[in-house]
């Protein structure tokens, strides 16, 4: 059967089911066909379906609630396909927005300078690797307390031909111990305090170490109270946070970084989502 014929049939058969939609169905077909994940290619081509049994297995796993990115072991982030599996959080759109904005700000302010960047809690390595790709002059470090996550980040580093320095350990501790100094520190730490805030699928499949923080804002305070130990005289710090944490994050900035300038940003859903702080 041709893959577009399968798509037509599957469209009617599966799209009333939960967890699957038209986009995901096409992604799964393209994956089995070994096609580049480029939607315009889907309808421009057609070919014999390569492995119907495998495709049906993928569809059934998605319908049962497994995120399609884990099924195909790929997640798109800033024009790259990152390898992902259940050892790491699936990179989110909001994180992409923060990374783009940070890139623009740092590029404008640190033109041609040799800078050091640290990504705390790197997971799949999506932030660190994307920053390194766009800022060739930067020396980029990425840390995590999960050796499993670091293993995945290293796979991505190799896959995407980037050079990152990995640090294993708790928050800023490895950087402090090694007396490293940075011009940019970025983190999307665990920030969910209530199990009820996440969907069943996230709860079942994504690593809890990447999601939960006892009081929600614990990790921002851990980072901010020691940030001066690991930064140069001027530095940028960027945090992603949960939509209802803006006021608490602002209190922490005022407590630990008086006289710094900072801007809060909303995400595509108009929810407060990240902050970029300029420390002088």
Q: Which residues bind ligand SAM (CB under 6 A)?
A: 89, 91, 95, 121-124, 126-127, 143-146, 149, 170-171, 188-190, 209-210
Least distance (Å) from ligand SAM to the CB of residue 123? 3
Least distance (Å) from ligand SAM to the CB of residue 11? 31
Nearest to 171 by CA among 216, 120, 125: 120
Least distance (Å) from ligand SAM to the CB of residue 172? 9
Beta strands in the chain (DSSP E): 75-77, 80-82, 116-120, 139-144, 165-168, 182-187, 231-240, 261-266, 272-279
Residue nearer to ligand SAM on the CB measure, 3 or 212:
212
Least distance (Å) from ligand SAM to the CB of residue 150? 9
Residue nearer to ligand SAM on the CB measure, 104 or 170:
170
What is the spatial distance between Cα 84 and Cα 69, in angstroms, rounded to a whole number?
7
Residue nearer to ligand SAM on the CB measure, 44 or 269:
269
What is the spatial distance between Cα 205 and Cα 86, in angstroms, rounded to a whole number?
6
Rounded to whole angstroms, the maximal C-alpha distance in the chain is 66
Residue nearer to ligand SAM on the CB measure, 33 or 124:
124
Nearest to 77 by CA among 52, 96, 51, 57: 96
Half-sphere exposure of 236 (CA within 13 A, CB side): 22
- Residue matched to tokens 């379906």: 49
Least distance (Å) from ligand SAM to the CB of residue 82? 9
What is the spatial distance between Cα 160 and Cα 156, in angstroms, rounded to a whole number?
6
Residue nearer to ligand SAM on the CB measure, 209 or 278:
209
Residue nearer to ligand SAM on the CB measure, 65 or 207:
207
Least distance (Å) from ligand SAM to the CB of residue 72? 17
Half-sphere exposure of 165 (CA within 13 A, CB side): 12
Residue nearer to ligand SAM on the CB measure, 63 or 145:
145
Least distance (Å) from ligand SAM to the CB of residue 210? 4
The DSSP code sequence of 115-165 is: -EEEEES-TTSHHHHHHHHH-TT-EEEEEES-HHHHHHHHHHHHHTT---E
What is the spatial distance between Cα 29 and Cα 7, in angstroms, rounded to a whole number?
8
The answer to whether 182 and 232 have CB atoms below 8 angstroms apart is yes
């Amino acid at each position: 059967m041709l893959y577009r014929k399968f798509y037509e049939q599957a469209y009617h058969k599966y799209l009333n089911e939960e967890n699957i939609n038209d986009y995901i169905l096409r992604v799964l077909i393209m994956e089995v066909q070994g096609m580049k994940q480029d939607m315009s290619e889907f309808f421009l081509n057609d070919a014999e379906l390569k492995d119907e049994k495998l495709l049906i297995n993928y569809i059934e796993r998605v319908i049962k609630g497994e995120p399609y990115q884990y099924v195909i072991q790929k997640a798109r982030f800033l024009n790259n396909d990152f390898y992902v599996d259940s050892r790491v959080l699936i990179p989110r759109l909001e994180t992409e927005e923060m990374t783009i904005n940070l890139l623009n700000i740092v590029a404008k302010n640190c033109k041609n300078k040799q800078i050091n960047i640290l990504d705390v809690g790197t997971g799949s390595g999506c932030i660190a690797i994307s920053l390194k790709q766009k800022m060739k002059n930067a020396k980029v470090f990425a840390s995590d307390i999960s050796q499993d996550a670091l293993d995945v980040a290293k796979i991505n580093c190799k896959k995407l031909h980037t050079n990152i320095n990995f640090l294993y350990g708790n928050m800023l501790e490895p950087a402090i111990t090694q007396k490293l100094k940075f011009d940019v520190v970025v983190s999307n730490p665990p920030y969910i305090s209530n199990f009820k805030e996440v969907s069943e699928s996230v709860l079942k499949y994504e690593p809890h170490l990447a999601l939960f923080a006892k009081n929600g804002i614990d990790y921002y305070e851990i980072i901010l109270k020691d940030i001066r130990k690991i930064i140069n005289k001027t530095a940028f710090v960027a945090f992603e946070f949960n939509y209802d944490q803006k006021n608490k994050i602002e209190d922490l900035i005022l407590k630990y970084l008086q006289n710094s300038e900072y801007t809060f940003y909303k995400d595509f859903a108009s929810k407060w989502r990240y902050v970029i702080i300029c420390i002088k």
